[in-house]
């Protein structure tokens, strides 16, 4: 048992060493391929970073649906307070914010950069902003919360678009799919790039394959070192490529936060997690391994006819 495991370990260590030596012997080609594949992996990493931001934004916006309730003029403060408490008591409501007409106008004027010297605010009703709980469904909003608020005599009108965040989610899902499709294409690109590099290497090393065949190497023996070469190339390219989203996230973090702050948002650019980076590197290594397999398909190099 132990002898068998030792033999398997020795076989794989030898194949890995041969794989490394092959990459070193062809170091110019290896370096160029590494650079190309790193760029592709880096681009894939940037897509992952984009996806991460999209998920964060989606989460924020999903958590943010709200209903603006315009109250009638001249409603007593105690009635407003009662209504506010009643609405806040609903399961689907996260918070209720009360604004006077003057406050609402001041915010509106400030957002447009106007002087707040108008008498218009006196014409504006008080209002309640009802922040709904995260993931409240459109049905719950349309059939439960809106009718409940609307039937109250103090309510003049209300403004709600229960479908807005669903439309937004659909748009963001579309973005997610586009990103994933592009990522899959990039993975295919890595597989084919590595297949092409190793195919070229195999042609260069046809003498070695012939000699190995002559001295009794199995196809598995010859393949194994190529598979290690491919996986190693993919892994190294993954390591280098993973630096790209890390550097981009670091460089863009402050400007993104500044931009978000100017819109009154607490959004922060989320860098890729260590698990995401490990996934990126792992996928790259697997793509390298798969590329090596592709390069070995239907190969006549193993044929003894060349001897």
Partner 1 sequence: MIRFKNVSKKYSTGSDALRLVNLDIGEGEFVFLTGHSGAGKTTMLRLLALLDEPTRGQLVVAGQDLGRLRRSQIPYYRRRVGIILQQPYLLPDRTVGENVELPLKVADLGQRERRKRVRAALDKVSLLDKESRPAASLSVGEQQRAAVARAVVNRPFLLLADEPTGNLDPTLARGMLSLFEQFNQVGVTVVVATHDTGLLNAKACRTLELSHGTLLPVAPSGAVLRRP
Interface ranges with partner 1 (CB under 8 A)? 7, 10-11, 14, 25, 207-208, 210-218, 221, 304, 307
Residue closer to partner 1 by CB (options 11, 73) is 11
Alpha-carbon span 284 to 232, nearest angstrom: 9
Question: What residues does 129 pair with on adjacent strands?
Answer: 68, 97
- Minimum separation from the CB atom of position 230 to partner 1 (A): 20
DSSP E strand boundaries for the chain: 66-71, 93-99, 127-132, 155-159
- 271 SS3 class: coil
- Minimum separation from the CB atom of position 197 to partner 1 (A): 19
- Minimum separation from the CB atom of position 233 to partner 1 (A): 20
Q: Phi and psi for 125 in degrees, rounded to 5?
A: -80, 165
Residue closer to partner 1 by CB (options 95, 214) is 214
Residue closer to partner 1 by CB (options 10, 203) is 10
Q: Which two tokens stand for residue 281?
A: 């590197």
- Minimum separation from the CB atom of position 59 to partner 1 (A): 54
Alpha-carbon span 299 to 179, nearest angstrom: 35
DSSP 8-class letter at 119 = S
How many Å separate Cα 76 from the centre of its chain?
50
Residue closer to partner 1 by CB (options 10, 150) is 10
- Minimum separation from the CB atom of position 214 to partner 1 (A): 6
Residue closer to partner 1 by CB (options 15, 272) is 15
């Amino acid at each position: 048992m132990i002898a068998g495991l030792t033999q398997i370990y020795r076989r794989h260590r030898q194949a890995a060493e041969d794989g490394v030596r092959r990459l070193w012997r062809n170091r110019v080609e290896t370096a160029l391929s590494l650079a190309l594949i790193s760029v592709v992996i880096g681009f894939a990493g940037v897509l992952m970073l984009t996806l991460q931001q999209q998920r964060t934004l989606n989460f924020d916006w999903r958590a943010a649906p709200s209903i603006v309730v315009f109250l009638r003029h001249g409603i007593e403060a105690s009635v407003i307070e009662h209504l506010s408490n009643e609405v806040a008591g609903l399961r689907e409501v996260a918070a209720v914010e009360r604004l006077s007409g003057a406050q609402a106008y001041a915010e509106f004027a400030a957002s447009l950069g106007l002087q707040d010297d108008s008498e218009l605010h006196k014409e504006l009703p008080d209002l309640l902003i009802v922040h709904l709980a995260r993931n409240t469904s459109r049905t719950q909003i349309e059939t439960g919360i809106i009718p409940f608020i609307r039937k109250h005599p103090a309510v003049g009108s209300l403004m709600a678009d229960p479908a807005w965040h669903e439309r937004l989610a659909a748009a963001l899902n579309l973005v997610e799919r586009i990103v994933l499709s592009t990522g899959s294409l990039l993975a295919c690109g890595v597989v084919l790039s590595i297949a092409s590099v190793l195919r070229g290497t195999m042609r260069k090393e046809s003498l070695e394959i012939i000699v190995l065949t002559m001295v009794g190497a199995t196809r598995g023996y010859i393949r194994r070192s190529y598979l290690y070469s491919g996986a190693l190339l993919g892994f190294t390219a993954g390591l280098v490529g993973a630096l790209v989203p890390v550097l981009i996230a670091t460089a863009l973090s402050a400007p993104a936060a500044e931009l978000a702050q100017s819109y009154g948002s607490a959004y922060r650019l989320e860098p890729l997690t260590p698990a995401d980076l490990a996934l990126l590197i792992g996928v790259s290594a697997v793509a390298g391994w798969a590329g090596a397999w592709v390069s070995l398909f239907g190969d006549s190099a193993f044929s003894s006819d060349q001897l």
